[in-house]
Amino acid sequence: MAMDATKIGNVVAAQMEALEQRFGEDCEIGDVCTIVEIIGPHGSEVAMRSSEVSAHSLIGLLRLAESMALRDMHADPEEE
């Protein structure tokens, strides 16, 4: 049975909509990285794929994403 890609499609569509609202149409997408958790009989595993990007750029992208995620997790909901 093939994996259902609906969840990935929904997340990417929501991301694209948010990017268009935030940045408008005068910008372009640079490097891209997807990180997916795969759950199955083997347990849980993480898969990652990126666009053609150098290793040092990819690590920087991942670290920035980690920093943003941690900031969002610790944000005070009353400040928003």
Domain coordinates in residue numbering, the chain = 30-80
Q: What are phi and psi of 48, to 5 degrees?
A: -135, 140
pLDDT 10s digits, 5-56: 999 999 999 999 999 999 998 999 999 999 999 999 999 999 999 998 898 9
Burial of 17 (C-beta count, 10 Å sphere; 0-12/13-18/19+): exposed
pLDDT 10s digits, 42-54: 999 999 999 988 9
